[in-house]
Amino acid sequence: MKGEYDVIVVGAGPGGSLAAKTAAENKLDVLLIEKRQEIGDPVRCAEGVGKLGLMEFVDPDPMWISAEVNSARIFSPDGTMIELSEKMAGNEVGYVLERKIFDRALAKMAARAGAEVQVKTQATGLIIEDGQVCGITGKQRGENFTAKAKVVVAADGVESRIGRWAGINTTLKLKDIETCAQFLMTDIDIAPTSCDFYLNSKYAPGGYVWVFPKGNREANVGMGMLASQYSGKHPIQYLKDFIEWRFPEGKILETVVGAVPVSGMLPKLSTGGLVLVGDAGHVSDPITGGGIINAMSSGRIAGDVIARCILDDDVSAKSLSSYDAEVRIELGKSLDKNYKIKEVITKVSDNTINVAAHSLKGVNFENVTVPRLVKEIVTRNPTLLKELVGLI
Ligand code: FAD
């Protein structure tokens, strides 16, 4: 490892690898570090992505796709099913990835573009001079090191500490954290081409249970609940209760716990010499918690903006704030809108979900927006207007 780079990217998830790849393609001298010894492992993700979203960044490789899905089925608490086509649920369904391979493939793309990649290498602090971030302190296999950089990219995920080290307020309210538990299960009866979502406060208060197929009788079965709804029962226990009801014969191959920010993006994504991408910048979707594509999107924007700023020899807070502006243009509108929707739907009762699901039977969902869907429900059930009015 050298003592100086143009860019140091901390974290080799989808956000960090895209930032490193893009910066390297812009002929910058890039270091990508990852604290774990294997990129992509362990997986803390249900691995679902939309096809079009993914194809905006990479050509899908069958090596890292474990299932192709063409519909999403939503089950209300009383078991009423609504089926959405891929076109309607396109952001959430399409592929179920194999992230152990996918994340590594993205890091490989960064390396092939010219980035240096170092695993088992952890950032432990920032070097800040005259209020400007200009490098990191770190640990590699027990040895301390320092490395300077014109810009540091914080792509260190939901538990990011780098923004805070630089004085950016990254605190999440409990109501804006989705805490999750997931089992990789085998030997279960699933719909192999559908991503299934269960809305039921018994199994996922303020959230949902997902069953994302991974091929032959195998699936990621997980649940996410708002941390604000925690009442002493652990997410793993909620999930076990769901499994006992739905897949009592299934076998568990892997257990995962994790969290996703569902706050909408941070008001400030950069400062002098530093930008935050992906979950570190809270750009994951507030309704679904999906964050892979948005992490890649913010990573790519970061790589391009940093290259321009370095070319102009200006990596000040003002100059790098064009990163915030570009991410806001790309993602801000949908994150803001989905945050508002989340604030309403996480409070909707099981009974209302049942009533709404019954009234949606037979509706053609092609090209239906959420407000139009809600209008349809309210027209058929005027008593629900008060509870759902925030969605229109
Ligand atoms: P990460 O993928 O979290 O990568 C951050 C990396 O930084 C990690 O590899 C970490 O080891 C490394 N790191 C952290 N600190 C340091 C440090 N100090 N030094 C060096 N390295 C460091 N999203 C979807 O789109 N679809 C889904 O189906 C989906 N399901 C999910 C299910 C669960 C249970 C959870 C928890 C999340 C899910 N998400 C899903 C969200 C998705 O996983 C994240 O939004 C996405 O991984 C964010 O990418 P990232 O690059 O920002 O961060």
Please work out whether the CB of residue 15 comes within 6 Å of at least one atom of ligand 1: yes
Please work out whether the CB of residue 290 comes within 6 Å of at least one atom of ligand 1: yes
Ligand 1 pocket test, pick from 279, 288, 327, 334 with the greatest ligand atom count within 8 Å of Cβ, gives: 279
Please work out whether the CB of residue 306 comes within 6 Å of at least one atom of ligand 1: no
DSSP 230-289: --S--HHHHHHHHHHHH-TT-EEEEEEEEEEE-S-S-S--EETTEEE-GGGGT-S-TTT-
pTM: 0.94
User: What tokens does 232 get?
Assistant: 């002493």
Q: CA triplet 367, 371, 372: central angle to 5 degrees?
A: 50
DSSP 335-381: HHHHHHHHHHHTT--HHHHHHHHHHTTT---TT--HHHHHHHHHHH-
Please work out whether the CB of residue 295 comes within 6 Å of at least one atom of ligand 1: yes
Kindly give the number of the ligand 1 atom that is closest to the alpha carbon of 122.
19
Residue ranges, comma separated, of all CATH 3.50.50.60 domains in the chain are: 4-44+100-172+263-334
- Any idea which architecture 71-89+174-261 has in CATH? 2-Layer Sandwich (3.30)
Residue ranges, comma separated, of all CATH 3.30.9.10 domains in the chain are: 71-89+174-261
Return the CATH superfamily for domain 4-44+100-172+263-334: FAD/NAD(P)-binding domain (3.50.50.60)
Please work out whether the CB of residue 33 comes within 6 Å of at least one atom of ligand 1: yes
Among all chains, which residue has been given the structure tokens 């362990």?
42
Local confidence pLDDT in tens for the 392 residues of the chain: 999 999 999 999 999 999 999 999 999 999 999 999 999 999 999 999 999 999 999 999 999 999 999 888 999 999 999 888 777 666 667 999 999 999 999 999 999 999 999 999 999 999 999 999 999 999 999 999 999 999 999 999 999 999 999 999 999 999 999 999 999 999 999 999 999 999 999 999 989 999 999 998 999 999 999 999 988 999 999 999 999 999 999 999 999 999 999 999 999 999 999 999 999 999 999 999 999 999 999 999 999 999 999 999 999 999 999 999 999 999 999 999 999 988 888 888 999 889 888 887 777 666 556 666 777 777 777 777 677 766 66
43 C-alpha to ligand 1 centroid (Å):
8
Please work out whether the CB of residue 49 comes within 6 Å of at least one atom of ligand 1: yes
Please work out whether the CB of residue 256 comes within 6 Å of at least one atom of ligand 1: yes
13 C-alpha to ligand 1 centroid (Å):
6
Q: How far apart, in whole angstroms, are the C-alpha atoms of residue 289 and residue 121?
A: 28
Residue 380, classified by CB atoms within 10 Å of its CB into exposed (0-12), middle (13-18) or buried (19+), is middle
